[in-house]
Amino acid sequence: MDRELIVAVGDLTCRYAGAPRDALRGVSLDVRAGEFHALLGPNGSGKTTLLRAALGLVRPVAGRAEILGRPAGEWSRRDLARVVGVVPQREENLFPQRVHETVLLGRYPHLSLFGGVRAADGAAVERALIACDAVDLADRWLWTLSGGEYQRVRLARALAQEPRLLVLDEPTTSLDLRHEMELFELVRDLVDGQGLAALMITHHVNLAARFADQVLILAEGRAVARGAPADVLTRETVERVFSWPVAIEPFDGRPQMIPLRRHPS
Amino acid sequence: MRHWAQRTHLAGLVALTVTACARGEHVPARGDVAVTDDAGRRVTLAAPARRIVSLLPSFTELLFAIGAGDRLVGRTAWCDYPPEAVAVPSVGDGMPPSVEAVAARRPDLVVLYRSGPNVTAADQFERLGIRTVLLDLNLLEQLGPAARRLGRLTGHEQTGDSLAAVMDSLAAEPPIPSTRSLVFIVWDNPPIVIGGGSYLDHLAALAGARNVFHDVGSPSAQVAIETIAARDPDVIAVLSDRAVAPRYATRPEWRAVRAVRNGRFLFLPGQLFGRPGPRITEAVRELRQRLQGGP
Amino acid sequence: MNYVLLAGAALTTLVVSLLVGPANVPLGDVLASPIVWQLRLPRAVLAFLVGGALGVSGVGLQALVRNPLADPFLLGLSGGAGLGAVVAIALHLPGPWALPLAAFVGAVGAMALVYRLGLMGGAELDPRILLLGGVAVGAFAAAVTTALVSLAEATELRNAFLWLWGGFSGASWTTVLVFLVYAPLPLVVLAALARPLDLLVLGEEPAQYLGADVRRLKRLVYLSASLLTAAAVAVAGVIGFVGLIVPHVCRLLWGRLHRTLFPTAFLTGGILLAAADTLARTVVAPRELPVGIVTALVGVPLFGFLLRRWTVS
Res C100: pLDDT: 81
CA angle at residue C237 from C235 to C243, to 5 degrees? Answer: 100
Q: Is the per-residue pLDDT at B7 higher than 50?
A: no
Do C and A count as touching (3 or more CB pairs closer than 8 A)?
Answer: yes
Q: Which of B101, B99, B64 is nearest to B79 (CA)?
A: B64
Between CA C251 and CA A159 the distance in angstroms is: 27
Using CB atoms, which residue from A57, A105, A157 is nearest to C198? A105
Residues of B in contact with C279 (CB under 8 A): none
What's the distance, Cα to Cα, between the start and end of chain C in Å? 23
Give the confidence band of A263 by pLDDT, cuts at 50, 70, 90: confident
Where does A15-59 show beta strands of DSSP type E?
Answer: 24-32, 36-40
Which amino acid does the sequence have at C17? Answer: S
Are A77 and C202 a contacting pair at CB < 8 A? no
Residues C228/C53, Cβ–Cβ less than 8 Å:
yes
Domains (ranges, CATH) in chain A? 5-83+163-259 (3.40.50.300), 95-162 (no CATH)
Total residues belonging to chain A = 265
Between CA B277 and CA B245 the distance in angstroms is: 26
Residues B222/B192, Cβ–Cβ less than 8 Å:
yes
Are A108 and C211 a contacting pair at CB < 8 A? yes
Residues B108/B45, Cβ–Cβ less than 8 Å:
yes
Question: Strands A197-201 and A214-219, how do they pair?
Answer: unpaired
Q: Closest approach of chain C CAs to the CA of B244, in angstroms? A: 12
* Contact A171/C at CB under 8 A: no
**H or E element at residue C185:** helix C184-192
Q: Which of C255, C122, C125, C232 is nearest to C170 (CA)?
A: C232
3-state secondary structure of C247: helix
Q: Is the per-residue pLDDT at B25 higher than 80?
A: no
Are A108 and C255 a contacting pair at CB < 8 A? no
pLDDT tens digits, residue range C117-167?
A: 888 877 778 888 888 899 999 999 989 988 887 776 556 666 667 777 778
The region that residue A133 occupies, defined by phi over 0 for left and psi between -120 and 50 for alpha, beta otherwise, is left
Are B230 and C35 a contacting pair at CB < 8 A? yes
The region that residue A227 occupies, defined by phi over 0 for left and psi between -120 and 50 for alpha, beta otherwise, is left
Q: Which residues of B217-243 are buried (b: 16+ CB within 10 A; e: fewer)?
A: eeebbbbbbbbbbbbebbbbbbbbeee
Query: Phi/psi of residue B95, each to 5°?
Result: -125, 85
Q: Which residues contact B60 (CB under 8 A, 6 or more apart)?
A: B54, B72, B75, B76, B79, B81, B85, B88
For B176, which DSSP code? Answer: P
pLDDT tens digits, residue range C222-265?
A: 999 999 998 898 888 888 889 989 998 898 888 888 999 999 99
* Total-model pTM: 0.85
Are A82 and C211 a contacting pair at CB < 8 A? yes
Are A90 and C203 a contacting pair at CB < 8 A? yes
What is the fold of C2-312?
A: ABC transporter involved in vitamin B12 uptake, BtuC (1.10.3470)
Between CA A122 and CA A103 the distance in angstroms is: 10
Averaged pLDDT of chain C: 88
Q: Give the residue from chain B lying closest to C152, CA to CA.
A: B93
Q: Give the residue from chain C lying closest to A107, CA to CA.
A: C210
Res A130: pLDDT: 94
Give the confidence band of A199 by pLDDT, cuts at 50, 70, 90: very high
* Contact A78/C at CB under 8 A: yes
CA distances from A200 to A69, A165, A172, A208 (A): 21, 11, 10, 9
Provide the sign of the torsion angle of the four alpha carbons A173, A175, A177, A183, taken in this order. negative
Residues of C in contact with B189 (CB under 8 A): 99, 162-163, 167, 169-170
3-state secondary structure of B200: helix
Q: Which residues pair with A5 in a beta bridge?
A: A32
pLDDT tens digits, residue range C181-229?
A: 889 999 999 999 999 999 998 999 999 999 999 999 999 999 999 999 9
Q: Is the per-residue pLDDT at B4 higher than 60?
A: no
What's the distance, Cα to Cα, between the start and end of chain A in Å? 50
Cα A99 to its chain centre, rounded Å, is 21
What's the distance, Cα to Cα, between the start and end of chain B in Å? 51
Are C202 and A105 a contacting pair at CB < 8 A? yes
Are C174 and B252 a contacting pair at CB < 8 A? yes
Residues of B in contact with C43 (CB under 8 A): 253
Prediction ipTM score: 0.93
CA dihedral C75, C78, C81, C82 (to 10 degrees): -140
CA dihedral C71, C72, C75, C79 (to 10 degrees): -110
